[in-house]
Amino acid sequence: MQCQECGKRPATLHFTKIVNGEKAELHICESCAREKGELIPGTSSGFSIHNLLSGLLDFETPNPMAKQPAAKCETCGMTYAQFSKIGRFGCSHCYKQFSERLDPLLKRVHGNTVHVGKVPKRAGGRLKTKREIDRLKKEMQGRIEREDFETAAQLRDRIRELENEMSG
Distance CA 36, CA 75 (A): 40
Q: Which does 46 bind (CB under 5 to 8 A by kind): another protein, Zn ion, none?
A: another protein
Name which of residues 52 to 71 contact another protein (CB under 8 A): 53
* Gap between the terminal Cα atoms of the chain: 54
Tell me, residue by residue from 112 to 151, as one string, x for binding to another protein by CB under 8 A and - for no binding. xxxxxxxxxxxxx-xx--x---------------------
Instruction: Select 9 or 156, whichever has its Cβ closest to Zn ion.
Output: 9
> Looking at the chain, how many residues does it have?
168
Residue 107 carries which DSSP code?
Answer: H
Surface-to-core class of residue 25, CB atoms within 10 Å of its CB (0-12 exposed, 13-18 middle, 19+ buried): exposed
71 in contact with Zn ion (CB under 5 A): no
92 in contact with another protein (CB under 8 A): yes
Tell me, residue by residue from 90 to 109, as one string, x for binding to Zn ion by CB under 5 A and - for no binding. xx-xx---------------
* Contact indicator for 133, 157 with CB cutoff of 8 Å: no
> What 3-state class would DSSP assign to 24?
strand
Instruction: Select 29 or 152, whichever has its Cβ closest to Zn ion.
Output: 29
Q: How far is CA 23 from CA 5, 28, 63, 131, 163, in A?
A: 18, 16, 13, 39, 46
Q: Could you list the residues that contact another protein (CB under 8 A)?
A: 12, 30, 41-47, 49-50, 53, 75-78, 86-92, 95-96, 102, 105-106, 109-124, 126-127, 130
Q: Could you list the residues that contact Zn ion (CB under 5 A)?
A: 3, 5-6, 9, 29, 32, 73, 75-76, 78, 90-91, 93-94
